Amino acid sequence: MMKKEIKTTCSYCGVGCGIVVKKDINNKIFVEGDKEHPVNKGMLCSKGMNLHYVANDTSDRILYPEMRWSRSHPKERVSWNDALDRAASVFKSVIKKHGPDSVAFYVSGQSLTEEYYIANKLTKGFLGTNNIDTNSRLCMSSAVVGYKKTFGEDSVPISYADIELADCFLITGANPAWCHPILFRRIEQHKEKNPNVKIIVIDPRKTDTANFADLHLQLKPGTDIVLYNAIGRRLYKRGLIDEDFIKNYTQGFQDYKKVILETSLKKASKICGVLEDDIEKAAEIIGLSKGFISMWAMGLNQSVIGTDKNTSLLNLSLITGHVGKPGSGPFSLTGQPNAMGGREVGGMANLLAVHKDLNNEEHRAEVAQFWGVDKISAKPGLTATEMFDALESGKLKAIWIACTNPLVSLPNSHRIEKAMAKSKFVVVQEISNKSDTVAYADLVLPAAGWLEKEGTMTNSERRISYLPKEIDAPGEARPDVEIFCDFAQRMGFRGFNYNSTEEIYDEYTAMTKGTKIDVSFLNYERLKLEGTFQWPVNKYRSKGTPRLFEDKKFYTPSQKAIFNVPSSIQNTAIETSDEFPLILTTGRIRDQWHTMTKTGKVSRLKTHYPKPVLEINPVDAYLNNIKDGDITEIKSANGVVRVRAKVTDVIKEGVVFLPMHWGKVLQSNLNRANNLTNTHLDPISKEPDFKFTTVAVSKY
Ligand code: SF4
Pocket test for ligand 1, best of 11, 34, 40, 602 (most atoms within 8 A of CB): 40
Residue 446 β-bridge partners = 430
557 preceded by cis ω (within 30°)? no
Pocket test for ligand 1, best of 7, 12, 21, 295 (most atoms within 8 A of CB): 12
Q: Quick check: CB of 335 below 6 Å from ligand 1?
A: no
User: Atom 2 (ligand 1): residue with closest C-alpha?
Assistant: 13
For 587-639, write each residue's pLDDT tens digit. 999 999 999 999 999 999 999 999 999 999 999 999 999 999 999 999 999 99
> Which residue type does 257 have?
K
Lowest mean pLDDT segment, chosen from 119-123, 548-552, 569-573: 569-573
∠531-537-542 over CA atoms, to 5°?
80
pLDDT (average), residues 662-684: 86
541 within a domain of the structure (yes/no): no
CATH number at residue 636: 2.40.40.20
Last residue of a domain, one of 448, 474, 498: 498
CATH number at residue 212: 3.40.228.10
User: Rounded to the nearest whole angstrom, what is the distance from the C-alpha of residue 45 to the centroid of ligand 1?
Assistant: 6
pLDDT (average), residues 458-476: 97
Q: Quick check: CB of 484 below 6 Å from ligand 1?
A: no
Task: State the pLDDT confidence band at 108, using cuts at 50, 70 and 90.
Answer: very high
452 within a domain of the structure (yes/no): yes
Q: Quick check: CB of 16 below 6 Å from ligand 1?
A: yes
275 and 317 inside one domain: yes
Q: Quick check: CB of 17 below 6 Å from ligand 1?
A: yes
Q: Is 52 left (phi over 0), alpha (psi -120 to 50) or beta?
A: alpha
User: Rounded to the nearest whole angstrom, what is the distance from the C-alpha of residue 180 to the centroid of ligand 1?
Assistant: 7
- What is the value of pTM for the model shown? 0.96
115 and 264 inside one domain: no
pLDDT (average), residues 198-222: 97
Listed in sequence order, the residues at least 6 apart from 69 whose beta carbon sits closer than 8 Å to its beta carbon are none
The Cα–Cα gap between 150 and 558 comes to: 12
Last residue of a domain, one of 299, 333, 367: 333
User: Atom 4 (ligand 1): residue with closest C-alpha?
Assistant: 17
Domains contained in the chain, number: 4
276 and 198 inside one domain: yes
Q: Please tell me the predicted confidence (pLDDT) of residue 366.
A: 97
Listed in sequence order, the residues at least 6 apart from 27 whose beta carbon sits closer than 8 Å to its beta carbon are none
E runs forming strands in 514-629:
533-534, 561-562, 582-587, 613-616
The Cα–Cα gap between 393 and 410 comes to: 17
Q: Quick check: CB of 179 below 6 Å from ligand 1?
A: no
Q: Please tell me the predicted confidence (pLDDT) of residue 113.
A: 97
Listed in sequence order, the residues at least 6 apart from 499 whose beta carbon sits closer than 8 Å to its beta carbon are none
Q: Quick check: CB of 13 below 6 Å from ligand 1?
A: yes
609 within a domain of the structure (yes/no): yes
For 485-514, write each residue's pLDDT tens digit. 999 999 999 999 999 999 999 999 999 999
327 and 366 inside one domain: no
Q: Please tell me the predicted confidence (pLDDT) of residue 25.
A: 86
The atom number, within ligand 1, closest to the CA of 15 reads 7
The Cα–Cα gap between 329 and 193 comes to: 21
The Cα–Cα gap between 593 and 48 comes to: 11
199 and 293 inside one domain: yes
177 and 323 inside one domain: yes
User: Rounded to the nearest whole angstrom, what is the distance from the C-alpha of residue 371 to the centroid of ligand 1?
Assistant: 35
The Cα–Cα gap between 99 and 92 comes to: 10
Give the DSSP letter string of 657-700. Answer: EEESS---TTS--TT-GGGT----B-TTT--B--S-EEEEEEE-
The Cα–Cα gap between 468 and 470 comes to: 6
CB-count exposure of residue 362 (10 Å: 0-12, 13-18, 19+) = exposed
198 and 126 inside one domain: no
CATH number at residue 394: 3.40.50.740
234 and 272 inside one domain: yes
When the pLDDT of each residue in the chain is averaged and rounded to a whole number, the result is: 95
For 391-408, write each residue's pLDDT tens digit. 999 999 999 999 999 999
The Cα–Cα gap between 152 and 159 comes to: 19
pLDDT score of 161 more than 60: yes
Last residue of a domain, one of 285, 308, 333: 333
328 and 214 inside one domain: yes
Q: Do 409 and 388 form a contact (C-beta atoms < 8 A)?
A: no
Q: Quick check: CB of 7 below 6 Å from ligand 1?
A: no
Q: How many residues does the chain have?
A: 700
Listed in sequence order, the residues at least 6 apart from 627 whose beta carbon sits closer than 8 Å to its beta carbon are 621, 645, 647
644 within a domain of the structure (yes/no): yes
Q: Please tell me the predicted confidence (pLDDT) of residue 572.
A: 76
pLDDT score of 568 more than 80: no
Residue 329 β-bridge partners = 293
The Cα–Cα gap between 140 and 17 comes to: 20
Q: Please tell me the predicted confidence (pLDDT) of residue 571.
A: 78
300 and 368 inside one domain: no
pLDDT score of 95 more than 70: yes
Q: 10 Å Cβ neighbour count for 587? A: 24
Q: Quick check: CB of 10 below 6 Å from ligand 1?
A: yes
Q: Quick check: CB of 45 below 6 Å from ligand 1?
A: yes
416 and 437 inside one domain: yes
Crossing angle for the helix pair 276-288 and 265-272, to the nearest 10 degrees: 110
User: Rounded to the nearest whole angstrom, what is the distance from the C-alpha of residue 657 to the centroid of ligand 1?
Assistant: 24
CB-count exposure of residue 133 (10 Å: 0-12, 13-18, 19+) = buried
Domain ranges, residue 72: 66-137+338-498
Q: Please tell me the predicted confidence (pLDDT) of residue 663.
A: 85
Q: Quick check: CB of 182 below 6 Å from ligand 1?
A: yes
515 within a domain of the structure (yes/no): no
User: Rounded to the nearest whole angstrom, what is the distance from the C-alpha of residue 338 to the centroid of ligand 1?
Assistant: 12
User: Rounded to the nearest whole angstrom, what is the distance from the C-alpha of residue 534 to the centroid of ligand 1?
Assistant: 18
557 within a domain of the structure (yes/no): no
User: Atom 6 (ligand 1): residue with closest C-alpha?
Assistant: 48
Query: Cα-flanking dihedrals φ and ψ of residue 33, to 5°?
Result: -70, 145
pLDDT (average), residues 438-450: 97
639 within a domain of the structure (yes/no): yes
User: Rounded to the nearest whole angstrom, what is the distance from the C-alpha of residue 336 to the centroid of ligand 1?
Assistant: 10
309 and 160 inside one domain: yes
The atom number, within ligand 1, closest to the CA of 45 reads 3
Q: Quick check: CB of 181 below 6 Å from ligand 1?
A: yes
User: Rounded to the nearest whole angstrom, what is the distance from the C-alpha of residue 16 to the centroid of ligand 1?
Assistant: 6
pLDDT score of 538 more than 70: yes
pLDDT (average), residues 26-54: 95
User: Atom 3 (ligand 1): residue with closest C-alpha?
Assistant: 45
pLDDT (average), residues 182-201: 98
User: Rounded to the nearest whole angstrom, what is the distance from the C-alpha of residue 190 to the centroid of ligand 1?
Assistant: 19
The Cα–Cα gap between 425 and 441 comes to: 8
Q: Please tell me the predicted confidence (pLDDT) of residue 28.
A: 87
> Which residue type does 501 have?
T
∠363-511-354 over CA atoms, to 5°?
60
Q: Quick check: CB of 48 below 6 Å from ligand 1?
A: yes
Closest to 18 measured CA to CA, from 264, 337, 490 = 337
pLDDT score of 478 more than 70: yes
507 within a domain of the structure (yes/no): no
Q: Do 326 and 162 form a contact (C-beta atoms < 8 A)?
A: yes
Closest to 691 measured CA to CA, from 220, 322, 285 = 220
The atom number, within ligand 1, closest to the CA of 182 reads 5
Q: Please tell me the predicted confidence (pLDDT) of residue 1.
A: 57
Each residue of 87-113: b (16+ CB within 10 Å) or e? Answer: bbebbeebbeebebbbbbbbbbbbbbb
Q: Read off the DSSP letter of residue 640.
A: E
User: Rounded to the nearest whole angstrom, what is the distance from the C-alpha of residue 19 to the centroid of ligand 1?
Assistant: 10
Give the DSSP letter string of 136-161. Answer: GGGTTHHHHHHHHHHHSSS-----GG
How far lies 679's CA from each of 221, 381, 384, in Å?
17, 18, 11
Q: Please tell me the predicted confidence (pLDDT) of residue 41.
A: 96
Percent of the chain predicted with pLDDT > 70: 99
